[in-house]
Amino acid sequence: MSPYLFAYLGAAILVLSGLALTRKNPVHAVLYMIVMFFHLAVMYLGLGAEFLAAVQIIVYAGAILVLFLFVIMVLNIKEEMEAERFSVGWPFGIAISSGLFLLVILVTGNVVPGKQGAYTPAAVAAQTNTKLVGTLLYTQYVFPFEVASLILLVAVVGAIVLAKKKLK
């Protein structure tokens, strides 16, 4: 990825996240988040992860944020807009997160780049990203994959139990 593109995407993601946090109107906040997700998708594209980019848009922008909007629209927007934007403990939260950020900056000086593995950009391009992700997911990483789907299944069952009016 060209450094200029990265600089633009990084800056835009930061600004958009800030805007999403500070908007009084929750619908506007969600909209800034959608635009932010699109920038993130372009970032994945630049790194050669095209499957991830598409999934980022389909799952996050296409499904999860529509559900967000759905819930927010049913809220009383006027009440929401008058409510205090941040809870009482916000300076505390900022202190913790800036501490973590400082830690990351301090550590970045000592990072040693790892050895190049089998999946170089050329090797990925030869097989296409999607095929490679699929193959690895169903061979080498099949156990973690199944565990993740089991966890999701538990969540689905939980949602059905909550939504069902009468349990026999």
Partner 1 sequence: MDLLYNVFFRPQIFSPLVQVLIILLKALIVVGVLMLHVTYATYFERKSIGHMQVRLGPMRVGPHGLLQPIADFIKLFFKEDIIPANADKPIFFIAPAISIFAGMTAISVIPFFNGFVVANINIGLLFILAMSSLNAYGVVLAGWASNSKYSFLGGLRSSAQVISYEIAMGLSLVGVMMMAGSLNLSKIVQAQQRFPGGFFWPQALGFFVFMVAAFAETNRTPFDLPEAESELVAGYFTEYSGMRFALFYVAEYIGMIVMSLVGITCFLGGWNGPFAIPYVPFAWLFIKLYLFIFLFYWIRATLPRYRYDQLMTLGWKLLIPLALLNIIGTGLVKMLLH
Q: How many CB atoms lie within 10 A of CB 43?
A: 20
Distance from C-alpha of 62 to C-alpha of 86, rounded to nearest angstrom: 28
Give the shortest CB-86-to-partner 1 separation in angstroms. Answer: 23
Phi, psi torsion values for 82, nearest 5 degrees: -85, -20
Our CB check for partner 1 shows the closer of 9 and 77 to be 77
HEC readout, 88-139: CCHHHHHHHHHHHHHHHHHHHCCCCCCCCCCCCHHHHHHHCHHHHHHHHHHC
**Token digits for 161?**
């139990």
In the complex, least distance from residue 154 CB atom to partner 1, rounded to whole angstroms: 19
Which residues sit at the interface with partner 1, rule CB under 8 A?
Answer: 25, 27-28, 31, 34, 50-51, 53-55, 57-58, 61-63, 66-67, 69-70, 73-74, 128-130
Q: Measure the CA–CA gap between 133 and 168, rounded to whole angstroms.
A: 42
Instruction: Give the residue with the Cβ less far from partner 1, 100 or 157.
Output: 157
Name the residue nearer to partner 1 (CB basis): 100 or 123.
Answer: 123
Cβ closer to partner 1: 79 or 111?
79
Closest contact distance (angstroms) between CB of 85 and partner 1 is 19
* CB 77, min distance to partner 1, A: 9
> Which of 64, 102 has the CB closer to partner 1?
64
CB of 96 to partner 1, least distance (A): 34
Residues 6+ apart with CB under 8 A from 9: 39, 42, 43, 46
